Structure 1
């Protein structure tokens, strides 16, 4: 594994790396969308993490992790919450357009700012407060003021992701980054297995996002599974390297390019063109995230 000295700054390279990361993350969504035609979102979540678990395990064998430890419950919490966030995200991908799913997921910075205020006691500047208001206005516009199951799942993705990322901030000083990712992958593999077993005996409209039976992959499914896991791993690698080379605020702003890439892939896969209302809501949410990244 190549390590990059933290003092090196190359803004152009950082931007290009983040664009590459966004492309691969959007590609991950596209493969997940293709898989949703033959299996449930819970199984898609399982395969996404199972492939990632293999990849991260190989890196740990090659370069062992070094942990100080001391926060086991927070580490477990991050793994569980991150896995549930992925369940709601892949459910959104299977039930709506890629552009809508990713825009809802991108509400994460809004919820992160709110959680930092209440859980970490961080003070919010006026720009951050304004950004939060703009972001929630965008959510209201995008959902057309409707609170149905699909919109709740989209919003839950953003909220749960924010909760997971907020917990990561308290883990940085105690655990190797790969240990935190490994926790996420382990729970992201184990929890879907339990849910797929439960789905054989129990159904629920309320927990539709978390209950779908296992369907044995066939033919091209294996291709999409491998490509999905590989694209996700590449996205993670490029994103991490981007933060080494450029300022976090700039990289976070460029990360919103994933909305464009996901929209293009979605249209290529048959998604309808976004409506004016959806575009307006998306613009407000993206604007909110950008303001928060530079606040």
Structure 2
């Protein structure tokens, strides 16, 4: 039974990775629209899904006042992360944008040490440093990067997601349920981006609306799948499979957009994925 649950967890996390790769593809296919506008429609769909789930399972706020500030920080960091990720998706090779966003687990380790006061072991610190060095091969830091900072913004998106995941863990420890956290985040993101949408709304074709709706559906599928994955198996056993998103993104980027990452990006992918596997094995052995 335990082995079956583990394999179900692996299947769900791979489905989640594919859904998030699809989300990035549809965001890119939506064309030349502001990241804020894309984010609003993506989160609007997620908000509807989360609301339906809350009603179905009768989930609500725990009532703990101290959790309000944690919900706010999680929502703010998550919104910044999505906006930066969408900007990177529009301006970088799809697999590059996905890989920079996948730096979030390494940032989560750093912020867990700073916020949750969790001790970071020397091997973990070295792995984080190794992953960051791998990201530099994707970012390719030269003076020109400041004129087209998409890679740095993509890395900032990973940092925002890392902060958000850290506070998701804080909220989980303090009794908040996952669907409620998603609902608050989606609501916050929609409200935060709505004024910018009103001031600088770009008219959309039917195809662009369809692409953004599919992006929202794919994102919702990714969120529910990853929740199901961690319900079936612990993170230490399955988290490494989340990096299959890079493979899906590279394939979709090549098939749909004709994108081919350069050799430095591929070396960066290999280094970051290797660091993820090493971290996975280290945590499993530690447990």
Using the size of structure 1 for normalisation, the TM-score is: 0.87
1:32 is aligned to: 27
2:226 maps to 1:226 = no
SS of match in other structure, 2:203: coil
Structure 2 spans left out of the alignment, 5+ residues: none
Tell me how far apart the structure 2 counterparts of residues 65 and 59 of structure 1 sit (CA, whole Å): 8
8 Å contact from structure 2 (residues 92, 151) kept in 1: no
Aligned partner of 2:238 in structure 1 is 251
The whole-number CA distance in structure 1 between the counterparts of 2:137 and 2:184 is: 36
Q: Does 1:48 align with 2:31?
A: no
- More displaced 10-residue stretch of structure 1: 284-293 or 113-122: 284-293
Cα distance between partner residues in 1 of 2:258 and 2:107: 28
1:18 is aligned to 2:19: no
The answer to whether the 8 Å contact 2:95/2:253 transfers is yes
CA offsets per residue over residues 82-115 of structure 1, 9 Å max, x none? Answer: 1111000101011111101000001111111111
Count of aligned pairs? 275
Indicate the SS of the match to 1:282: helix
Aligned partner of residue 269 in structure 1, secondary structure: helix
Larger helix share, 1 or 2? 2
**Secondary structure, in 3 states, of the residue corresponding to 1:274?**
coil
Deviations 1:176-205 (A, max 9, x none): 2111101110121111112234xx4xxxxx
How far the C-alpha of 1:266 sits from its partner, in A, is 1.0
Unaligned runs of 5+ in 1: 1-5, 201-212
**1:132 aligned residue:** 128
Could you tell me which residue of structure 2 aligns to residue 191 of structure 1? 192
Assess if the C-alpha contact under 8 Å between 2:254 and 2:260 holds in 1. yes
Partner of 1:10: helix, strand, or coil? helix
Say whether 1:169 aligns with 2:169: yes
